[in-house]
Each structure stands twice: as C-alpha cells, then as structure tokens.
Structure 1
C-alpha cells in the first residue's frame, strides 16, 4: 500500500485539517476584535440639536445592531446625562440624550473595525481603537476612519425606564 492510499483511507487530508483549524482560529480572532472591554463610560457635555422623541420622552425607533433582548430593561432616564450617554457593553448598545427628554440608542460596535465604542463626550460617541467619532444626534460619522454611521437601535422609554424595543 502506498502512503497516498493510507492517507486518503484514514481520514481528511492534512491540508483540510490545517485549513479548518485556521478558519476556526480566524473566527475566534474576529469575534474578539468585535468585542469590547467590560467598562462602561458615561460623560455629560452640552450639545444642541433636535431629537425624534419630543417632550413625551418616548424613545426613538429604528432597527439596529444591538444584541440585547427586546423588552429588557437597560437603564433609567436619570442615568443618561443630557448631551451625553452611556455604553452598555453586554447589550452592545449606547444610549444617549442629545437634548433634554430625547433618548436615542445606537449600536456600540464601531462601523470601521468592529471595536466597541467606549465613551461619550462633547456630543460625540468615541471609539478608542482608531479614533472614529459619531454624533449622538443621529449616529453619523463626525471623524474617521469610519465611513458609515452607527446603526440606530430601537428603544422604548416608559416613565423613567429605558428598554430595548
């Protein structure tokens, strides 16, 4: 029996096994890059602009990139400073209050390289990986290298409770 016939009869070729292991390793690495540290950041700063919620305090609505379960409580309105916000790493969501009584949420995953955004300051959501910055008003890119806005995430505000919708 030749060595070629032994290899083909005993299982997958070495090249197939090495490719599968490499693909699994790449998958783990990409997942790690998309994750973020466990710290949450909040910061208040002044910022003007119009919001989509009006004076009733109900949340904005749009589909987006959060991983949290619909209806799960995120926070209270008192935890979200006007002109600032708070990052929720576990849910991969950032909740902001661009103007008094207007609450919005966006994916906390940077559209440039998949890093987690970490802080909100001066009306801007900041990604520490490559210094991309996004507007708290609409998630649009304020400075790159990101070229796409943060996707909006649907939330609901009822009384002082903010939940994923």
Structure 2
C-alpha cells in the first residue's frame, strides 16, 4: 500500500485571524449598544386619569397586594404634585402632573433600556444618555430617546395607588 505524503494544512494568515476577531468583536459591540427604538410599544400617551375602576373597593392584604389584584405601590400623599416617584422593584414610575391626577409609566428608558433615575422640573430623567420624558404623558422632552415611556395601568382607590 502506498502512502501519500501528508501535507500540513497551512495556518491562516495573521491578517485573516485579526480581521475575523475584529468582525466578531464589532458584532458583539453593536448588539450591546444597539438601540431598541424600532421595537413596537404603546405611545405612553394614556394612563390612569385618577378615577377609580372596578377595584374601587380593593383592600390591602398583608403581602402588599390588593384583594382585587395588583400590588399596592404607595399612598397618594407619597407622590408629589408636578413630580413623581420611581418604584425600582416594580419597574414603574408614578407621577402626579396635576393635583389628584396620577399617571404611571414604565421605568425603562425607550432609548437603550436603562432604568430612569430621577424626576425633576416636570420630567423623568434617564441617567445613561440624559433622555427626558414628560411626567404628564411620558412623551420625549429631550433625546436621544425617540419614543415615549409606555403607560402602565394603575388604580387609585381612596388614598391607595395600586399597580395593575
């Protein structure tokens, strides 16, 4: 039996390896920094008007949830007029743009998904790129975000604000 000489497979050129690693790294970086502005979501232009719904008689249970469902977030007195409060664990921002009117929005910035961190001068602020959103309707007041914060459903019953 004749054996043919073995020829080693040539190793890829250094330039090819560097280009491949660079392209893979670029793909990872673009994915990590990519904006989700193209994803669909609600406009954030509506929220609870402060009127109660079918859960008007909801009572609070010992675990922070309401007997009619949802999670009790706060008392109405906890939400400053013209401002709001961020509930990190629930991922929601509750605002009171005018006396007795309460709104709720996602606490996730629509630019790159950072959690908003503060509310001042009638705007909800994202710390990552300084996007600002209206406390009244979640609309963009300052970019780079291009989409409003999505509205969240809350119920105001007596002096309690319930998520859901």
Both proteins in one fold, TM over 0.5: yes
Give every structure 1 segment of 4 or more consecutive aligned residues whose post-TM-superposition deviation is greater than 3 Å. Answer: none
Equivalent position of 2:161 in the other structure: 162
Equivalent position of 1:92 in the other structure: 91
More helix by share: 1
Unaligned runs of 5+ in 1: 1-25, 31-50, 61-68
Distance across 1 between alignment mates of 2:82 and 2:52:
16
Equivalent position of 2:79 in the other structure: 80
TM-score by length of 2: 0.61
**Corresponding pairs, count:** 108
Q: Say if 1:59 and 1:102, in contact at 8 Å, map to a contact too.
A: no
Distance across 2 between alignment mates of 1:96 and 1:88:
11
TM superposition shift of 1:71? 1.2
Q: Say if 2:109 and 2:115, in contact at 8 Å, map to a contact too.
A: yes
Equivalent position of 1:114 in the other structure: 113
Distance across 1 between alignment mates of 2:131 and 2:123:
10
For the pair shown, the structure with the greater C-alpha radius of gyration is 2
Distance across 2 between alignment mates of 1:59 and 1:89:
24
Q: Say if 1:108 and 1:150, in contact at 8 Å, map to a contact too.
A: yes
TM superposition shift of 1:52? 6.0
Distance across 2 between alignment mates of 1:119 and 1:141:
15
1:58 counterpart = 2:51:
yes
